């Protein structure tokens, strides 16, 4: 059964449209359950009616032609109850409604299960049989399991199908929801970043020179054929005659007269080679996947492998220097810090990533760079967007295609308002961050890229609360040497000198994998991350610490900070290594003192051990991004649970307050370097909790300064008291918005453009 389930889900997953998905579903379910009828009724959101959308066994001619009102018929009953209905004799049930013409009068047994996605009923899946009998428990369990698995696939196919037909082909407006990545509005041209050779992500594009494309395709084909022959020759006598025959099959698949001819045909009709190849190969893969015979089914893998190889050659030959249009909006399946590094900053207007969430590191970098970003736009048919005009609303996490002129105009107005607001805030650049009643809070910045330095200084940063040293590591193809690191760190320290610069030791793992040091894990955020990696590799840690200490020579503004500490022993070990490096360098002639050493409080264990940690270090800094993820058990990189990730959750606020109280008791300075510090409302609460330093992305700094300069500490404390008594995140958010509005900061609140 499990195997059958898996195959059905896999097959439905490969469908290109909702219709195809539903057709595969009814056909395969009817066969798997050995019954006579399987149909799907889909709920029409506007009317609530259930439309007869696909069938195997009833009258296909009435598909899309007949429907039942909300709550009507057995289908309506299943949807209303949100539970299966299993009947021996359907027509005798009070809810039974006869739909003339669909031909169900011969069928007595009825089993209907709801298709539920994200708490809403999308439709109803029904099986029917002539024999008067109840479907048995295992049938019911099978259908429920299948429906639960298919709900996500159907929802996705429904939205993307709609966007495809209305917005891509039909040029109608469409709005696709994701999650906010970095604030701001961007109006620009989509440029698709495809990851290495992956046929499923090749953007559709026209061939500018079909002849050249055909030539390139043939060359790629020949290269792969040559590779295969070489492999076969190398293996030579180790292969049995059957294995040799398999290589011949591979070669024949690529034969110019079969698949090759189809690809060439498509190129001649105007597709570029990569697109034509992908389209043809994917069709053949589907064909094999649908076969019943398991040996033939397995051949789908071979076809995929061959297609990928040809694509890789095509991509390698096509590596012309990419010309980015002005106002490029970079769109990709999973954008990374590296993809950001490839495009000139002045061309980059926005980012859209199909995967990831607002707390992913690429989003954090985007915020630092001030690039509006939408993450987790899972329903975006992004491979179809090349060169299309798109609008990104990074405040609300939406992407707009073909907007109506008045909507586009409204977005343009928001862009203009934002520009005016930034200009107003510029006037505060050299003003201190001090409340109306004279409480001073230094505002620092989080940095990583070299570009952050200029931006930060322009925004009036008074120090660096978090220099993410992993960023320069991410942008290379090997570990930087100690001397290379020394130079990079020196540049940071010099740029801010005499202002303090807090360098965090390497924090890789989680969603920050170095391309040259891959870490493959099932639960990367609970795995080998941060200090766990560097303590297991003291040579990496020591080289980094030495580079930092040397870079600090003659400047003295370095602070060292340790990430992801969960055990006091980790802190002790790391401190030992830092002391040892310092001692050894002193013996070699270094003159600088040991810099202040601090620890990040970003896991619940550190919250509960904050006092012990505080007694061992010179400062504490809360990493609210990870602390939120670990306290709420919400993967910060997972778009599916992004709406559960709230740094203003009462439990997070409680933890933040407790750490602040402990640090005050222990007389150890406390800062925060998570994104919450860059949220004007959040910053007011942190001020009231007693945080000594707020460190944030440079883009947020002017807004936070404005927010804190326009309030009294006593008002903030009053607000904190109110908020700490609240139990719902929604109420907390609402109260903070009200507070900002009462203090003339309604411009910091961005409602969706409708
Ligand atoms: C944090 O976790 O809050 C933090 C500042 O570190 P990062 O976002 O780099 O994990
Ligand atoms: Mg962190």
3-state SS, 256-267, equals: CCCHHHHHHHHH
Residue 455, domain member (yes or no): no
Residues 230 and 364 occupy one common structural domain: no
- The Å distance, Cα 602 to ligand 2 centre, comes to 6
CA proximity to 504, closest of 566, 447, 428, 443? 447
If DSSP codes are grouped into helix, strand and coil, which group holds residue 273? Answer: helix
- The Å distance, Cα 363 to ligand 2 centre, comes to 14
Residue 456, domain member (yes or no): no
Residue 154 CA to residue 20 CA, distance in Å, equals 10
- What is the arithmetic mean of pLDDT over 43-49? 89
Could you give the number of structural domains in the chain? 5
Residue 273 CA to residue 261 CA, distance in Å, equals 12
Residues 410 and 552 occupy one common structural domain: no
- What is the arithmetic mean of pLDDT over 412-435? 93
Residue 8 CA to residue 27 CA, distance in Å, equals 10
Q: What are phi and psi of 532, to 5 degrees?
A: -65, -40
700-752: pLDDT as tens digits: 999 999 999 999 999 999 999 999 999 999 999 999 999 999 999 999 988 88
Work out the pLDDT band at 246, boundaries 50, 70, 90: low
Residue 352, domain member (yes or no): yes
Domain final residue, candidates 370, 391, 421: 421
CATH number at residue 91: 3.30.450.40
Question: Looking at beta carbons, which pairs linking 86-94 to residues 24 or more positions away fall under 8 Å?
Answer: 86/110, 86/111, 86/134, 86/135, 86/140, 87/111, 87/134, 88/132, 88/133, 88/134, 89/132, 90/128
Residue 452, domain member (yes or no): no
Residue 413 CA to residue 537 CA, distance in Å, equals 52
102-137: pLDDT as tens digits: 999 989 999 999 999 988 999 999 999 999 999 999
Residues 307 and 380 occupy one common structural domain: no
Residues 205 and 188 occupy one common structural domain: no
Atom nearest to 675 CA in ligand 1: 3
**Pocket probe mutation, ligand 1, options 626, 627, 629, 631, max atoms within 8 Å of Cβ:** 626
Residue 607 neighbours by CB distance under 10 Å: 21
Residues 578 and 607 occupy one common structural domain: no
Work out the pLDDT band at 237, boundaries 50, 70, 90: low
- 361, 582, 649, 750: the catalytic one is 361
Residue 325, domain member (yes or no): no
Largest Cα–Cα separation, the chain: 95
Residues 672 and 569 occupy one common structural domain: no
Residue 208, domain member (yes or no): yes
Residue 447, domain member (yes or no): no
Residue 232 neighbours by CB distance under 10 Å: 17
Give rounded-to-5 percent helix, strand, coil for the chain.
50, 15, 35
Residues 154 and 81 occupy one common structural domain: yes
- Give the β-pairing of 85-87 and 109-117: antiparallel
Residues 476 and 436 occupy one common structural domain: no
Instruction: Tell me which ligand sits closest to the C-alpha of residue 628.
Output: 1
Q: Characterise 171 by phi-psi region: left (phi > 0), alpha (psi -120 to 50), beta (else).
A: left
Per-residue model confidence (pLDDT) at position 278? 87
Per-residue model confidence (pLDDT) at position 317? 74
Domain final residue, candidates 539, 560, 595: 595
Residue 296 CA to residue 602 CA, distance in Å, equals 51
Please give the DSSP secondary-structure letter assigned to residue 116.
E
If DSSP codes are grouped into helix, strand and coil, which group holds residue 685? Answer: helix
The contacts of residue 423 (CB under 8 Å, 6+ apart) are none
Residue 357 CA to residue 639 CA, distance in Å, equals 5
Residues 504 and 386 occupy one common structural domain: no
- The predicted model scores a pTM of 0.79
CATH number at residue 281: 1.10.274.10
Residues 646 and 532 occupy one common structural domain: no
Residues 123 and 110 occupy one common structural domain: yes
Average pLDDT, the chain: 90
Residue 453, domain member (yes or no): no
Domain final residue, candidates 360, 390, 421: 421
CATH number at residue 535: 3.20.20.60
CA angle 28, 303, 249 (to 5 degrees): 115
Residue 349 CA to residue 185 CA, distance in Å, equals 9
Of 168-172, 339-343, 344-348, 624-628, the range with the lowest mean pLDDT is 339-343
Residue 169 neighbours by CB distance under 10 Å: 10
Beta pairing partners, 696: 445
Atom nearest to 625 CA in ligand 1: 3
Ion ligand 2, residues whose Cβ is below 5 A away: 602, 623, 626
CA angle 693, 694, 700 (to 5 degrees): 150
Residues 580 and 618 occupy one common structural domain: no
Instruction: Look up the domain containing 751 and give its range.
Output: 429-442+600-754
């Amino acid at each position: 059964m499990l195997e059958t389930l898996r195959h059905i889900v896999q097959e439905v997953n490969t469908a290109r449209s909702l219709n195809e998905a539903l057709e595969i579903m009814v056909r395969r379910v009817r066969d798997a359950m050995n019954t006579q009828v399987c149909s799907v009724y889909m709920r029409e959101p506007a009317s609530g009616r259930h439309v007869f959308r696909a069938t195997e066994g009833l009258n296909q001619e009435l598909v899309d032609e007949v429907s039942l009102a909300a709550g009507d018929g057995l289908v309506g009953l299943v949807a209303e109850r949100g539970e299966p209905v299993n009947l021996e004799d359907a027509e005798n049930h009070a809810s039974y409604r006869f739909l003339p013409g669909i031909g169900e009068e011969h069928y007595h047994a009825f089993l209907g299960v709801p298709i539920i996605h994200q708490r809403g009923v999308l439709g109803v899946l029904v099986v029917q049989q002539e024999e008067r009998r109840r479907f048995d428990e295992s049938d019911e369990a099978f259908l429920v399991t299948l429906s639960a698995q298919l709900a996500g696939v159907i929802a996705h196919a429904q939205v993307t199908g709609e966007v495809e037909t209305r917005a891509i082909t039909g040029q109608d407006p469409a709005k696709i929801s994701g999650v906010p990545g970095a604030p701001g509005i961007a109006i620009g041209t989509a440029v698709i970043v495809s990851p290495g050779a992956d046929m499923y992500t090749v953007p559709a594009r026209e061939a500018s020179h079909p002849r050249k494309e055909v030539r390139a395709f043939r060359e790629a084909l020949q290269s792969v054929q040559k590779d295969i022959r070489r492999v076969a020759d190398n293996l030579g006598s180790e292969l049995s005659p059957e294995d040799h025959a398999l290589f011949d099959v591979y070669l024949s698949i690529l034969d110019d007269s079969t698949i090759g001819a189809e690809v060439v045909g498509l190129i001649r009709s105007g597709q570029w080679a990569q697109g034509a190849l992908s389209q043809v190969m994917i069709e053949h893969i589907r064909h094999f996947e649908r076969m019943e015979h398991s040996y033939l089914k397995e051949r789908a893998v071979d076809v995929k492998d061959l297609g990928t190889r040809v694509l890789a050659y095509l991509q390698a030959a096509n590596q012309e220097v990419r010309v980015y249009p002005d106002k490029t909006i970079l769109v990709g399946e999973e954008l990374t810090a590296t993809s950001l590094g490839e495009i000139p900053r002045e061309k980059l207007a926005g980012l859209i990533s199909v995967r990831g969430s607002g707390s992913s590191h690429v989003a954090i970098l985007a915020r630092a760079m001030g690039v509006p970003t939408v993450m987790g736009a899972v329903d975006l048919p992004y491979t179809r967007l090349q060169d299309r005009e798109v609008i990104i609303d990074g405040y609300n996490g939406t992407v707009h295609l073909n907007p109506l002129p008045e909507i586009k105009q409204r977005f343009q107005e928001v862009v203009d308002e934002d520009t005016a607001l930034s200009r107003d805030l510029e006037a505060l650049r050299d003003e201190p961050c001090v409340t109306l009643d004279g409480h001073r809070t230094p505002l620092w910045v989080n940095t990583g890229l070299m570009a952050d330095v200029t931006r930060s200084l322009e925004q009036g940063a008074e120090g660096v609360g978090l220099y993410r040293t992993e960023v320069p590591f991410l942008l290379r193809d090997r570990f930087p040497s100690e001397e290379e690191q020394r130079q990079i760190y020196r540049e940071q320290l010099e740029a801010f000198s005499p202002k303090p610069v807090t360098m965090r030791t390497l924090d890789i793992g989680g969603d920050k994998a170095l391309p040259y040091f891959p870490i493959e894990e099932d639960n990367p955020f609970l795995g080998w991350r941060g200090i766990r990696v560097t303590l297991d590799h003291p040579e990496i840690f020591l080289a980094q610490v030495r580079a930092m200490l040397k870079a600090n020579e003659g400047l003295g503004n370095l602070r060292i900070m340790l990430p992801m500490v969960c055990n006091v022993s980790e802190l002790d070990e790391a401190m030992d290594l830092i002391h040892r490096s310092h001692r050894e360098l002193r013996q070699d002639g270094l003159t600088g003192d040991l810099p202040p050493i601090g620890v990040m409080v970003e896991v619940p264990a550190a919250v509960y051990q904050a006092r012990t940690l505080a007694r061992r270090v010179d400062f504490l800094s809360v990493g609210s991004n990870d602390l939120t993820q670990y306290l709420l058990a919400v993967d910060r990189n997972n778009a599916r649970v992004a709406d559960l990730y709230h740094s203003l959750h009462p439990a997070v606020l409680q933890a933040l307050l407790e750490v602040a109280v402990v640090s005050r008791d222990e007389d150890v300075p406390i800062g925060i370097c998570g994104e919450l510090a860059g949220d004007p409302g959040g910053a007011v609460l942190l001020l009231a909790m007693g945080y000594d330093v707020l460190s944030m992305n440079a883009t947020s700094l002017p807004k936070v300064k404005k927010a804190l300069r326009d309030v009294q500490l006593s008002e903030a404390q009053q607000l904190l008291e109110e908020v700490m008594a609240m139990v719902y995140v929604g109420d907390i958010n609402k109260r903070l918005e009200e507070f900002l509005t009462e203090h003339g900061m309604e411009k910091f609140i961005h409602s969706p453009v409708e």
